[in-house]
Amino acid sequence: MKAIVLAAGSGTRMKSNLPKCMHKILGRTLLNTVLSALREAKIEEIIVITGYGGERLRSSVSMDVKFAHQAEQKGTGHAVSMASEFLNEDEDILVLCGDTPLVTAETLQKLAETHAREGNAITVVSARIDNPFGYGRIIRPATDGQFLRIVEHKDLEEGQELVNEINTSVYMFNGKALLDALPLIEPHNAAGEYYLPDALEIIQSNGLKAGVLLAPDSGEFVGVNNRAQLFQAAEGLKKRINEKHMMNGVTIIDPSSAWISHDVTIGADTVIYPGVILENTRVGENCVIGPNTRIIGSDISDFAEIDNSVVLDSSVGEYTTVGPFAYLRPHSRVGARCKVGDFVEVKNTTLGDGTKASHLTYIGDSDVGGGVNFGCGTVTVNYDGKKKFRTVIEDNAFIGCNTNLIAPVTVKEGAYIAAGSTITDDVPEKALSIARARQVNKEGWIKK
C-alpha cells in the first residue's frame, strides 16, 4: 500500500507567505503530523504532492518520502495524477490531505481493513457533523441507503445542503481502478477543476464496487484553512495528547493550559503545572514541572523539579532543582542533586553532582566538577571580544560572591575564592585566592 498526501495549496486564507502545510501545531508542521500518522499506520511509501512554495515545503519534511509537483493547482484529481509514475495497478492507494493533522493511524488502518474485506475498488471515509457548510456531501439513494456519489458544496442541488454526512477527503483506491479513472475526470463543475471524487462515478460505471467507512469521530477530519482553524486543530490534538499522558499516570493540573507535543514522554507520578510547554523532551518519573516552564529538546531525570524556567537542549539529573526563573541554554548538562536557582543562566556547561548555584549567576562554557558552590553574582567571563574560552572548576571548590573568572582559567580541587575577586590565573588545589584591591577610606572626601 502507498499513500498520496495532497499538500500543494497556498492557503490564501492563512494570510501567510508560508505554504499552508508548513504551519505548525504543538511544534510540528501540519504535513509532518499527517506523515507521522501514516508511518504509525505502517505505510512505508508516501508521495507528497507539492505546489505553492514547493522547495520550502520539501525542506520542512522530516522523514523519507517521494515528491511530485503540481505546478498549477487544478483540483484534487489533477493533483493525484501528478503521482501517476509512482503508482502500480496491483497495489492499494491511500489518498488524504496534508492539512488534516488530527487523523489517526487507527482510522487509516480500519480504512484499509474495510477496503480489503468488502472488496471495494474505492472506499471513502465519511463523517457526520452538525454544520456541514463548505464540505462535499455523501449522497445515498433513498431506497437502500448505499453509497451513491459525492457532491461538492458549490455544486449542491436543492435539498442536498441538508445532508450532514460529509466527505472527509480520505480515500482508498485499487491501483488499477484509480489509474484508469484519472484520465477520464472532466472539469464539469462550478470551479472548473478536476475533482478526485468524480473518480468514484467513473469507477462505478466500470462495474466496480464503491464503499463508505463512516468514521465515529468527525473531529479527526477537521481541516485547517485559516488561523482560527489552526488553533482549533491544536486544541483537539492537545486534548488527545494530554489525556494519553494522564491515563499513563501523569498529573496535569490544568490540561487546557499545558502544551505538550507529540514527541514528549513523561514518567508516572510526575506533576505538570499550568502554563507548561514541552517539546521533543523526556521527563522522568516523580518530577515536578512548575508553572510557566518551557522545556525543549531536553532530558529531565527522575525526581527533578523545574519551576518557572526555560530549559533548551540540555539535561537535568535526578533530584536536581532548577528555578524559579533559571535559564539552561543549549548543551548544558546538570548532574544529580544540583541546584540551579533563581536568575541563574547556564550555557554550554557541565555541572557535576551536588553543585549549587543558588542565585544571580552566569556559568558559560565551563566544565564544573561535583560539590562546587557558586556564590551570588559569580560570572564566568568567557568572551574577550573575539573568541570564547572555557573555565574549569574542579570538585568541591568554593566560589565566593561577586567573583569574576576570566577564562581560560582553572580552579583546582578544594580551592576557595574570596568574595569580590577577579581571577585571571589558575588557583592551586586547596588554596585561598584573593584578587581585589585593599580597602582604603578617604576621610572627608565627600565634603571636599
First and final C-alpha spacing in the chain: 92
Secondary structure (3-state) at 168: strand
Q: Which of 23, 245, 262, 359 is catalytic?
A: 359
Single out the residue of 330, 68, 50, 93 nearest to residue 199, CA to CA: 93
Q: How large is the C-alpha radius of gyration of the chain?
A: 30
Q: Would you state the cell numbers that stand for residue 30, as one nine-digit string?
A: 501540519
Task: Return the ∠ at Cα 124 (arms to 139 and 9), rounded to 5°.
Answer: 100
The H or E element spanning position 341 is strand 339-347
With a CB cutoff of 8 Å and minimum separation 6, the contacts of 143 are none
Q: Distance (Å, rounded) from C-alpha 16 to C-alpha 33?
A: 20
Query: Quick one: which of 390, 442, 434 has its CA closest to 415?
Result: 434
359 in active site: yes
Single-letter amino acid code for the residue at 93: I
The answer to whether 92 and 129 have CB atoms below 8 angstroms apart is no
DSSP classification of residue 167: E
Return the active site residues. 359
